[in-house]
Structure 1
Amino acid sequence: MTTLEFSYSLNNLSSSLKPFAMKLTRDLDDANDLMQDTMVKAFTNRDKFTEGTNLKAWLYTIMKNTFITNYQKMVRRGTFVDTTDNLHYINSSDIKIENGVFGNLAMDDIYESIDKLDDVFKTPFLMHYRGFKYHEIAEKLQIPIGTVKNRIHIARKQLKEDLMVYKHKN
């Protein structure tokens, strides 16, 4: 098989490898990286491919082994070896476990801010929040639909201002 034929075959099979890469990584960017690594390894090792055998299976094997190798490197990078007598292995990762107390505090602040709204804004806002459509709110409150939209907009604006401390800075 010539280099051109091999390259053409790799290109044709790349689309069938994408779902497998997604299954392994569960992330689009990581899947694209894995696809690229697989294709580079396959192309640089084309002399190891035996013509007449299943190229697709060979590519799947390269992808699986590349994924495993990358995963093992990632785990090793986050593992410290304790050199004391006990020889503990400690995985240090960027994963943080929180107990939810901050979420509860935020929700308390949100409810408090909603309670501070004037009833004229709070009622349509809460109805919309609970799933009512604009026209249903308008019928129930016997006000025009434009007024409903305006009051919900004003309520959101006031809540946004009141809860400014929760704005994420990127």
Structure 2
Amino acid sequence: MEASANVKQDLLKAIPNLRAFAISLCGNPERADDLVQETLIRAWANLSSFTEGTNMVAWLYTILRNVFYSEYRKRSREVEDVEGRIAATQASPPPQEGHMNLRDFRQALDKLPDDQREALILVGGAGLSYEEAAEICGCALGTIKSRVNRARTRLAHTLAVQSAHEFGPEAEWQAILDRTGSSRASR
């Protein structure tokens, strides 16, 4: 099948979102690039199985997800690289507060069960609808909603979040104002 210009444009437009999803799954930008590349190769090779007019992004996410889990199963049988593990312990954490929060968030996200993390990334990170995420994961709509809710609840508990106002620069300014306001009130 000769690919139409629209299909080619849709493939190109999906690359940043595919990369973000791949990074969320594997946590490694270089490996994520490889996943996206493999996804695009498989999509291009199987373009005849894609029905033009349907959801290209959902089709690509499904391919990427399948590639990731196939590679994950292969890697689980491999012996771990000892030098890689030692190198990872030598990394120094970034000094900026935002980077620390992101690292904490990433660690908390990694602790989620795979199905909950995947659902949260698709709905919260990739901006897909619950219906699209359910289609990609091959489960019922209610199951995706439940997984997202459980994932959000677990993240909030793990990160000890009381409200959404605890994040971002506004939270830092609010903490400063609260301290200065409380010191004035005590005078």
Instruction: Please confirm whether the aligned pair reaches a TM-score higher than 0.5, indicating the same fold.
Output: no
Q: Normalized per residue, which structure has more helix? A: 2
Larger radius of gyration: 1
Q: Which has the higher contact order (CA 8 A, sep 6+)?
A: 2
Q: TM-score, normalised by structure 2?
A: 0.41
